Structure 1
Amino acid sequence: MKAKSAFLQIVFLVAIMTFMALPALAQLPPEIPREDTLIVDQIFRYSTPDNYNIWTTAGTEATRHAFGWDTLWYIDQQTGEWINAVAAERPIYNEDFTEMTVKMRDGLYWSDGVELTSEDLVTTINILKANPGMRWSSELALYVEDVTAVDDYTVKFTLTRPNPRFHYYFTVRWNGVYVMPAHIWKDVENPLEYTFNPPVSLGAYVLRETDPAGYWEIWELREDWERTTTGVIAGKPGPKYILTIFHGPNEKKVMAMSNHELDILMDLDYEAFQALINRNRRARSWYKDFPWAWTDEADTRVFAINQEKFPLNLKDVRWALALALDIVEIQTEYVGGVTRVTPIPQPASVFHMEHYHKQYVPWLKELKLDLGSGEFFVPFDETIPFKIADWAREQGYDIPEDEEAIINMFGVGWWKHAPDVATKLLEINGFTRDSSGNWLLPDGTPWKISIIAAPDEADAYRLAMGAMDQWEDFGIAVEIETLERNPFYTREHMGDYDISSTWGMAGGGNANFVRDKWPFMHNFHTQFYAPIGQASLQNHMRIRSEKLDEIIDKLSNLPPEHPDVPALEEEFFKHWVENMFGIHTVSFKKFITFDETYWTNFPASENPHAQPNYWFMGGKFMYPYLEKSGR
C-alpha cells in the first residue's frame, strides 16, 4: 500500500502547485502598526484580485465577504444563535407562504455615507433576477413574482408559489444574498461584467490596498463602524486593520505563524499542525489536546461523481469505487484520525449525529447490494469507529473505552473494505482485467479516472491522494489534477471532471441546530440541472432523479417544523445512499489554528462564543471580540 509515502508526495505536489512563491508583501507598511493588525490566512491566491463583484463567480467571496458585504440573517455555526443583521427581525410570512415581508434595520450606512434602505434590497433582487449567471439568479427568478419597497425600511416579496423557506436565501451559513448599494448598481449597464472596484462596503471594513498578483489585501476598520451590523450587534470595533495573506504551502504557513507573522489560519495537514504547535507555544486549535481540530462545521468531504461520465453513471460502478476504499486507513494515515466518518450526505457534527446518523444505523445495517444470481451483500461496517480507536491508542492518545463515547468521537461506521465485492459489481457490468490485473472497460479499453483537487483545501487533497493510492491498488489507472481554487471551481461548475475531491455537499443553508435539510436537497432538483459545458452552481454532479424530485417537491410545500419533514429527509438520504450518488467519507474538521501572541479571545472549545471559521460570511461576528494581548 502506498499510504506511507502519501505525506511526502503531498508536500512535493503542493510545493509545485504553489510555485514555492513568497507573497508579494514582505512586511506591513510603516504606517500600520503590527499590534493593531490581525493577520489572516487568505487560504488561496485570488486569480482576479481586482474583481469585487462577488454576485458573480468571477469575484472571490472567501474571507472578503465577511469584511465588506452583508445580508439579512445569520445562524452562528457554533452557538446556533439566530442573528438579525440587515433585517431588524425574523421574516414575516402570510398564512399560505406566498408573501414574505422584511423589516430592515435602520441606521445602517454604506461606507460612502449613503444610508441603507429598502431600495437597496429591491434593486438587488431585480438585478439578480434579470441577469442569469449571477449568483441566486435562477432561484430568485423561480420564486419571486414581485418585490416592492413598502417604505424606507420595509420590503414585501410576492412569491410565485408557496415557499416557507424563501428566507433561507438570505440566511447565512456560507453566504446569503449580498445586498447591493442601489445608488451604485442601478446605473450599471452589464452587471455580469462590472467589477465593483473599489467596493462600497456595507461591512465594518473598507478596502485599503490590494496586491495586483492576488496574494494579499489590507482592510481597514471604518471610522463609522458603529453604523454596521457588527457594530450594532457586538458594540465593539475589532482590529483596526486586517491583512489577509496567502503564504502558499503548509510549511510556509507554519513558518509564518512560528514567527508570529500570521495570527489565524484556516487549516493544516496533521503533520504540519504538529510541527507548528511544537515550534510555537502560543499556537493552538479548537481543543488543546487530541483531536485538537474543530469538528462541527456543517459539511462533509465527498468524492463527487460526475453522473454524465461513463462508466460513473452506473450505480454499481459507484458502489464498487466505495467498496474498494479502506476508510480506516484513509481516516488515520491520510487525515490523522481526528475526525468522524460519515456514510450519509450529512456532516457528523454532534447535532447531526443525534438527529441523523444514529437514527439511520438500523437501516444502514439492513442495506443490501444485489450482486446478481440471487447473491446479496451487506456493505455497512459498524466496527469502523472501534478500529480507528485502536489505531489512536497505538499512537498513545487517551481514548475512552465506552462504546458510545468512541462512536461520538469517530462516527457510527462506514462501508466495508470489500475489493472482492467491488470486483463482482464491475464484472456483472462487463468489466474485465488485463494480464496485469488492471481494469478494462466493457469495450476493452483501460479504465482511467481523473480526480480534480485543490491543495489549499488540505483534507480534500489528502483524501484524493488516499483514493488514488487505493484505487490504483485495486487496478484502476488514476491521476490527480492539481488545481488552484478558482479553476477548480470552474471545472466543477462546468462539469469538466470525472471525480472531484470536494466539500460542502451536506448541511445546506442552515448549519447546525436546524433540522431542515431542504436547502441542501433542493439543489438536486432537475430544474437546476445543466448539461456538461453549461454552468451549474447547484448540481455540478449532474444528478437527475425523479425520486429526488418527488421528495423535494413534497418538502417544498411543507414548513420546516412540519412533522412530515424528518421522514421525507430520511427517504431522500436513503435514496442517495442506495444509489451512491457521491462517496461521502469523513465529516469536516479544520485545524483552525491561532497564535495568541498579538491577539486573544479567539473562539475555542472552552470559550465557544462564535464560529471560528472566519472565512465564512458569518466570521464577521468573531472579529469584534478579539482582544489585544498587550505583548
Structure 2
Amino acid sequence: PNGNDFANGFLQIGMEYLFYANFATGEIQPWLATDYSYNDDFTEMTIHLRDDVKWNDGEPFTADDVVFTVNMVKGNAALSFGPTMAEFVEDVTAPDATTVVFTLTKPAPRFHYNFFAQVADFAPVPQHIWEGEDPLTFKNDPPVTTSVWKLSQTLPDLRMFIWERDDNYWGKDEQFPAAKYIVYRTAPPKDADYQDLVNNVIDHAHRLEWQQVELAMQNNANVVVGPFQDPCPRGLWINNAKYPLSEPQLRWALSYLVNRDKVANVIWQPPTVAATHPWSEWKLLEQYLDPDVMAKYPITYDPDKAAQILDDLGFAPGSDGVRVDDQGNRLSFNIITPAEVGVGEYQIAQDLAEEAAKVGIELTVQAVTGPVFDESTQTGNFDITSHWLCGAFIDAINLYQPYQSKNSAPIGERATAGNWIRLENEKLDAAVAKLETLAPDSEEAKAAYSEALDAWMEAMPAIPVVQTLYVMPWNTTHWTNWPTEDNMYTVPFTWWALWYPVSFQVQPAE
C-alpha cells in the first residue's frame, strides 16, 4: 500500500534464507541450509540443504529451487545479486535434492557470504511458481515462500500488511511462533506513534526520537528498549588526494581534535560510546581487531598532540591565526555533510571546527543535499565529510577492498570503482591482495587482517568518531521476550531480515 519494501514485512518475515548471520551473538545460524564447504582452491562451493523444508503451498523445497533462482538472477543484472552471480558463478548444479554445487569463475573464499541473511539478502524462490515468468514484473501474490508467516491481508487505507501464522509450517516440530498474526504498518507521525506506544495500542514504535522513548518509559512501565549498534559508526572521511590532507599525520592531528566523549554523551542522541575503530562493536567483527595493532594507534582526544604534529609538519600560525606552511598552504578546509543543520552529523563537524580553531585550523561546515554530496564526493571535489563510516559489515575486507589504489580516480573524475576518498596505500593493497585468496577463518588470513588493519590505522583515511546506537522501543503489555540489552538474542531492527527469529521468541504476557 505504501511502496516501501521495508515497511511491509516481506523481506523480514515473509521469506526465509539459507543462513542467518546473527551479529548480536556472533553466530552463523543455518536455516534452510545445513552447511557449506569449498574445494582446496576455492573455485567450487557446495551447500547442503535441509531435507524437510516445504513451500507454503505444500511443495517440497529442493536444490533445484536454489539452482533456478541463481540462474534467474544471474541472467538479469536488474535483479538483486544479478551482477554478483554473473561475476562469480560459471555454473550451478543440483546433484541431488539437498546439494547445490557452484563452479566459480575464480577463487572466491567468501562467496558464501551471499547466502547469509543480514538486512535483505539472497532468498531462493520456488521454481514451480516462477518458471516461465518475467522476474521483473511477476507479482508472486500471494507470496509462495517457506516462511512461517503467510500474507493474509493488505489494507491500503490503513497502510497495513497482515501476516498470519502458517499452521502447516515445515519447521513446526522444532520451533513455532506463539503469535498468530503480525501486523506491519507504515509508521504514522511521531507524536501519534508515541501515543499508540504509551497507550498499549502497538507493540513497537519505529520513528520516535530518543527523548520520546525516554518519556514513553517514564509514562508506561511496560515500555522497554533494545539498544543495538548500527553497522556504521559516525565518522569523518578525508580526501586523501588533496594536499595537505594527503598527509597521514595531518589526518591524525584532526583525529586528536575530536572530543569523542563529548560527542558520545552530549551531542549524539541517544548517548553512545566513542568509536575507536572503523566498524561497529558487533561480536561477529571482533575477530578482525588485533589488540597489538590497535595499541599502536590510540584514538584519543589530545589537542596538544595535534598542535605538536602541526608544528612538526611545518605549519605555523599566520597573521589571522590560521596555520600556513612556507609554500603558502593554509590549513583551511570545508566539511560537507548530507545531514541537515542541527542533526548529529552536522553537530559532530561543528564541534570539530570549534576544537580545530583553537590550534590554528580553519574549518567551515556545510550541509548539502544528497545529489550535491554524491557529486562532490564521487568527483573528489571535497575536503572532509561528516557522515556514516560504513564498510565492514560481516567481514573487515568489505571495508578495505573498495579503497585499493586501483579503485582510485583523479580529482575531477568520478570514482566509479568505490575509492572516492582516493586513498593510495601500498601496504593496504598488499594485505587485501592476500585476503582475497584466503579463507577468512584461516591463520594466514588472521595475519593478513592484522596487516590491513595496521595499514588502515596508520594512514587514518577516515576518522571514527562514535558508535551509532539505535534504540528499539517495545511494549510488553501484550507480548514479552523482546530483544533487550540483557536479552539480545538477535539484531532487534524490525526492518532487517535478522528480525525473523524474534517472531519465534516473543511470548504472551501473563
Question: What TM-score results when the alignment is normalised by the length of structure 1?
Answer: 0.66
Q: Aligned match of 2:349 in 464, 467, 472? A: 467
Q: Are 2:508 and 1:625 aligned? A: no
2:484 is paired with a residue whose SS is coil
Q: Distance in 2 between matches of 1:179 and 1:454?
A: 40
Q: Distance in 2 between matches of 1:491 and 1:196?
A: 35
1:103-138 deviation line (CA, Å, top 9, x unaligned): 223443445555433233223323333334644344
Q: Distance in 2 between matches of 1:517 and 1:257?
A: 38
Q: Aligned match of 1:421 in 286, 292, 307? A: 307
1:395-420 deviation line (CA, Å, top 9, x unaligned): xxxxxxxxxxxxxxxxxx53434596
Whether the aligned pair in 2 keeps the contact of 1:555 and 1:568 (CA below 8 Å) is: yes
Change (3 A) 1:416 1:210: farther
Q: Distance in 1 between matches of 2:178 and 2:379?
A: 43
Whether the aligned pair in 1 keeps the contact of 2:187 and 2:206 (CA below 8 Å) is: no
Whether the aligned pair in 1 keeps the contact of 2:288 and 2:396 (CA below 8 Å) is: no
- Residue 334 of structure 2: aligned partner: 448
Q: Are 2:164 and 1:221 aligned? A: yes
Report the alpha carbon displacement of residue 156 of structure 1 after superposing the two structures with TM.
0.8
Q: Aligned match of 2:96 in 151, 165, 187? A: 151
Q: Distance in 2 between matches of 1:156 and 1:246?
A: 42
**Structure 1: tracts of 5 or more residues without a match:** 1-23, 25-45, 53-59, 287-292, 365-379, 381-412, 510-515
Q: Distance in 2 between matches of 1:442 and 1:186?
A: 67
Change (3 A) 1:319 1:141: farther
Q: How does 1:66-145 map to 2 (within 5 A)?
A: 66-87=12-33, 89-111=34-56, 114-132=59-77, 134-145=79-90
Letter in 2 for 1:280: N
- Residue 205 of structure 1: aligned partner: 149
Q: Distance in 1 between matches of 2:292 and 2:332?
A: 41
2:41 is paired with a residue whose SS is coil
Letter in 2 for 1:116: F
1:347 is paired with a residue whose SS is coil
Q: How does 1:50-61 map to 2 (within 5 A)?
A: 60=6
Q: How does 1:487-506 map to 2 (within 5 A)?
A: 499=385, 501-506=387-392
Whether the aligned pair in 2 keeps the contact of 1:320 and 1:425 (CA below 8 Å) is: no
Change (3 A) 1:454 1:343: same
Report the alpha carbon displacement of residue 336 of structure 1 after superposing the two structures with TM.
5.6
Bigger shift: residues 314-323 or 141-150:
314-323
Q: Distance in 1 between matches of 2:432 and 2:404?
A: 7
Whether the aligned pair in 1 keeps the contact of 2:290 and 2:450 (CA below 8 Å) is: no
Bigger shift: residues 180-189 or 578-587:
180-189
What CA RMSD, in Å, does the superposition of the two structures yield over aligned residues?
Answer: 4.4
Change (3 A) 1:135 1:543: farther
Change (3 A) 1:444 1:517: closer
Q: Distance in 2 between matches of 1:247 and 1:418?
A: 49
Letter in 1 for 2:21: I
Q: Are 2:367 and 1:480 aligned? A: yes
Letter in 2 for 1:464: Y
- Residue 240 of structure 1: aligned partner: 181
Whether the aligned pair in 1 keeps the contact of 2:258 and 2:465 (CA below 8 Å) is: no
Q: Aligned match of 2:115 in 150, 161, 170? A: 170
Q: Distance in 1 between matches of 2:257 and 2:8?
A: 34
Q: Distance in 2 between matches of 1:528 and 1:138?
A: 18
Aligned residue-pair number: 498
Q: How does 1:173-192 map to 2 (within 5 A)?
A: 173-183=118-128, 185-187=130-132
Whether the aligned pair in 2 keeps the contact of 1:438 and 1:476 (CA below 8 Å) is: no
- Residue 161 of structure 1: aligned partner: 106
Letter in 2 for 1:453: A
Q: Distance in 2 between matches of 1:540 and 1:108?
A: 44
Change (3 A) 1:141 1:467: same
Q: Aligned match of 1:602 in 482, 499, 506? A: 482
Report the alpha carbon displacement of residue 72 of structure 1 after superposing the two structures with TM.
1.3
Whether the aligned pair in 2 keeps the contact of 1:239 and 1:624 (CA below 8 Å) is: no
- Residue 550 of structure 1: aligned partner: 430
Q: Are 2:439 and 1:559 aligned? A: yes
Q: How does 1:221-370 map to 2 (within 5 A)?
A: 221-224=164-167, 226-227=169-170, 231=172, 234-236=175-177, 238-249=179-190, 253-265=193-205, 270-286=210-226, 293-294=227-228, 299-305=232-238, 315=248, 318-335=251-268, 338-349=271-282, 356=289, 358-364=291-297
Change (3 A) 1:78 1:489: farther
**Structure 2: tracts of 5 or more residues without a match:** none
Whether the aligned pair in 1 keeps the contact of 2:7 and 2:184 (CA below 8 Å) is: no
Change (3 A) 1:217 1:150: farther
Q: How does 1:356-435 map to 2 (within 5 A)?
A: 356=289, 358-364=291-297, 380=298, 413-417=299-303, 421=307, 424=310
Report the alpha carbon displacement of residue 569 of structure 1 after superposing the two structures with TM.
1.2
Whether the aligned pair in 1 keeps the contact of 2:389 and 2:464 (CA below 8 Å) is: no
Change (3 A) 1:578 1:272: farther
Whether the aligned pair in 2 keeps the contact of 1:98 and 1:163 (CA below 8 Å) is: yes
Letter in 1 for 2:109: P
Q: Distance in 2 between matches of 1:523 and 1:597?
A: 47
Q: Distance in 2 between matches of 1:64 and 1:468?
A: 40
Alignment identity in percent? 22
Letter in 2 for 1:271: Q
Change (3 A) 1:252 1:81: same
Q: Distance in 1 between matches of 2:250 and 2:214?
A: 38
Letter in 2 for 1:618: L
Q: Distance in 1 between matches of 2:47 and 2:337?
A: 44
